[in-house]
Structure 1
Amino acid sequence: MRVAFAGTPEFAAVALRAIHAAGFEPPLVLTQPDRPAGRGMKLQASPVKQAAQEWGVPVAQPRSLRLDGKYPEDARAAQQALQAAAPDVLVVAAYGLILPAWVLTLPRLGCLNIHASLLPRWRGAAPIHRAIEAGDAETGITLMQMDEGLDTGDMLALERLAIQAQHTTASLHDELAAMGGRMVVAALQQLRVGPLAATPQPSEGITYAHKIEKSEAALDWTLPAEVISRRIRAFDPFPGVSFDCAGESVKVWQATVLSGLHGQPGQVLDASGDRFIVACGQGALALQQVQRPGGRRGPIAAFLQGRPGLVGQSLLLAD
């Protein structure tokens, strides 16, 4: 069975490596164009492209797949490459481009998507982040037969994973990526024998995981401490949660909720030793790991050194 692949970030690369390790040699890999990255802003290949290049697998990097879109020459070249690859199935994971009808219908067995949520909850771009931010008790992987809607296709397989109190987007991402790779390999092996059972998604419980924006990074001390704590974990590693302290924008990466303490939102209740406690709209947060501009993540005790007189001050920004 000829299994082509479309994906871009590390989440997708994990699945591609699992597919390759299971003996499915992709005739073609689609991924997004190289992007500037790092301090030097040099062009960098996506994790999926890097994996494909290790095995000498052909890679196509169209800017769009829409034949009537802004880059029709890219779409036509990708169409020719896919037709020449003649895949039986196209596995898609966090690709980042919309698949038009000609792509969805080209493989004999259609397109299978690895989605990091329990559909129909958290359709869209950032399901891992939004599940943690919302305080969901569980998440998982849904394998889906793709159609022209946004994550609306029939479900082919589903596995659940409990969201633990220590989970960040980074750690949950790694567990879900491994789960997705294992599940898609099992599905492909079953497809060799016969079709997969498809179940329509429920019509109730639909939510959308909108893309994470940098503007969401500002810490709002008027929110309940529990909500802020979830955002800290949800926005790790991107974009982080930041607060202003003495004119510096400081990112907080770890914090503990203290329900028994109260004060005006943003008021520093303690700033001694390894204790930096700030009142929130409900309860308080004990900040444990922060990062100053240009620095690395470090313990709160190091941050507090040389910062006397913080107790009683407000970290709320003036309107």
Structure 2
Amino acid sequence: MALNIVFAGTPEFAAHHLQTLIDSDHNVIAVYSQPDRPAGRGRKLVASPVKALALEHDIPVYQPLNFKSDEAVQELASLNADLMVVVAYGLILPQVVLDTPRLGCINVHASLLPRWRGAAPIHRSLLAGDEKTGVTIMQMDKGLDTGDMLVKAECDILPTDTSEMLHDRLISIGSPALLEACAQLESGSAYPTKQEDSQATYAHKLEKSEGLIDWSESADAIDRKIRGLTPWPGAYTQWQGDNIRIHKAKAQLYSGALPPGSLASMSKQGIEVATGEGSLLVTTLQMPGKKAMSAADVLNARKAQFEAHPVFGQTHNTEGDQ
């Protein structure tokens, strides 16, 4: 028997899971998403990816600021949903909402819980150098990603992964995991497993300031920062009062004695920067006001400038942000 599902989500990651449910035998009877936000130079209101997808399929969309009003709660109750599926919605759901659907609310979370509860699990797993991550489908409770687990799907983190690449891979394993959890709940065969709270870590929301590179760290750590913060908020360093964004780089061995941040070599292969341990070969970077370019192209235009000022600094200049 198909479930009548209310879906709650906002970004692209959530929209892919909504599409999975639309394509399934289940009935998506309504969608909740964050209110439209201003975007672009004109600051026009733009619908979230989830809202846009729902409208394409003529699914009713609700966008309450929160669920603090009786009206919002009663509106949800009137839908008589069997299940609410929540994916990166961005609102805290009170207990009255969690209890409203017949089978409660389940969440698709982009980590192997209890590791990386919170807002930025994909980025944090890369920054920490984890070798594996995955998706957990959990029964929601009043805590932050603390609910009992229904289905887990895991994948390797590759040495070349960016957060964007990992995001897409987690979508590919999260969608079938979501359908498996729905099938278990529909048939009554779900076997919820409690999380081990002592093993929990917290994935704090990303701040733009985290992108500033500290060259005294190891090349491996800086490489993880660049990959973990691509495409947003991006990793950057200061040079001559400007912030230079680094898009691609490779950690390597280094036997020299230059201080961290010093430009050890410059060639068609890239700009080699000494770090606290090893060196980083920067291969793609973005100068202020320019598009991302290969290091070779940047050096063609600016090699003499880099030779005259061969050190990347660590002082943040907000006016130069990319």
- With structure 2 as the length reference, what TM-score do the two structures score? 0.93
Aligned partner letter, 1:294: G
* Residue in 2 that maps onto 1:86: 80
Task: Give the Cα separation in 1 of the matches to 2:199 and 2:9.
Answer: 27
* Residue in 1 that maps onto 2:310: 313
* Residue in 2 that maps onto 1:244: 238
Name which of 102, 107, 112 aligns with 1:108. Answer: 102
Is 1:302 matched up with 2:304? no
Q: Quickly say closer, same or farther: Cα 1:318–1:10, change in 2 above 3 A.
A: closer
* Residue pair 2:151, 2:180 contacting (<8 A) in 1 also: no
What pairs with 1:190-269 in structure 2 (closer than 5 Å)? 190-262=184-256, 263-269=258-264
Task: Give the Cα separation in 2 of the matches to 1:13 and 1:226.
Answer: 33
Aligned to 1:310, the other structure's residue is in SS state: helix
Task: Give the Cα separation in 2 of the matches to 1:166 and 1:53.
Answer: 36
Q: CA deviation at 1:205?
A: 1.6
* Residue in 1 that maps onto 2:320: none
Instruction: Give the ranges of 4+ consecutive aligned residues of structure 1 lying more than 3 Å apart after TM superposition.
Output: none
Is 1:271 matched up with 2:266? yes
Aligned partner letter, 2:284: Q
* Residue pair 1:20, 1:26 contacting (<8 A) in 2 also: yes
Name which of 54, 58, 61 aligns with 2:60. Answer: 58
Name which of 4, 10, 13 aligns with 2:12. Answer: 10
For structure 1, list consecutive stretches of 5 or more residues without a partner in the other structure: none
Q: CA deviation at 1:58?
A: 0.7
Is 1:123 matched up with 2:117? yes
Task: Give the Cα separation in 1 of the matches to 2:193 and 2:253.
Answer: 43
Task: Give the Cα separation in 1 of the matches to 2:220 and 2:46.
Answer: 38
For structure 2, list consecutive stretches of 5 or more residues without a partner in the other structure: 317-322
Task: Give the Cα separation in 2 of the matches to 1:144 and 1:261.
Answer: 48
Map Cα deviations across residues 77-107 of structure 1 (whole Å, 9 max, x no partner).
4323211211111000111100001110001
Q: CA deviation at 1:34?
A: 0.7
Is 1:19 matched up with 2:21? yes
Task: Give the Cα separation in 2 of the matches to 1:143 and 1:226.
Answer: 32
Task: Give the Cα separation in 1 of the matches to 2:268 and 2:197.
Answer: 53
* Residue in 1 that maps onto 2:32: 30
Aligned partner letter, 2:38: P
Task: Give the Cα separation in 2 of the matches to 1:39 and 1:178.
Answer: 33
Q: Alignment RMSD, CA only?
A: 1.5
Aligned partner letter, 1:54: E
* Residue in 2 that maps onto 1:162: 156
* Residue in 2 that maps onto 1:182: 176
Task: Give the Cα separation in 2 of the matches to 1:204 and 1:39.
Answer: 46
Name which of 278, 286, 291 aligns with 2:281. Answer: 286
Tell me whether 290-299 or 146-155 shows the greater mean CA deviation. Answer: 290-299
Task: Give the Cα separation in 2 of the matches to 1:306 and 1:200.
Answer: 58
Aligned partner letter, 1:122: W
Map Cα deviations across residues 279-319 of structure 1 (whole Å, 9 max, x no partner).
11111100011122333222111111222152472212469
Q: Quickly say closer, same or farther: Cα 1:77–1:53, change in 2 above 3 A.
A: farther
Q: Quickly say closer, same or farther: Cα 1:48–1:261, change in 2 above 3 A.
A: farther
Q: CA deviation at 1:203?
A: 3.0
Tell me whether 133-142 or 176-185 shows the greater mean CA deviation. Answer: 176-185
Aligned partner letter, 2:47: A
Q: CA deviation at 1:186?
A: 2.0
- With structure 1 as the length reference, what TM-score do the two structures score? 0.93
Aligned to 1:6, the other structure's residue is in SS state: strand
Equivalent pairs counted in the alignment come to: 311
* Residue pair 2:215, 2:314 contacting (<8 A) in 1 also: no
What pairs with 1:36-47 in structure 2 (closer than 5 Å)? 36-47=38-49
* Residue pair 1:28, 1:82 contacting (<8 A) in 2 also: no
* Residue pair 1:15, 1:178 contacting (<8 A) in 2 also: no
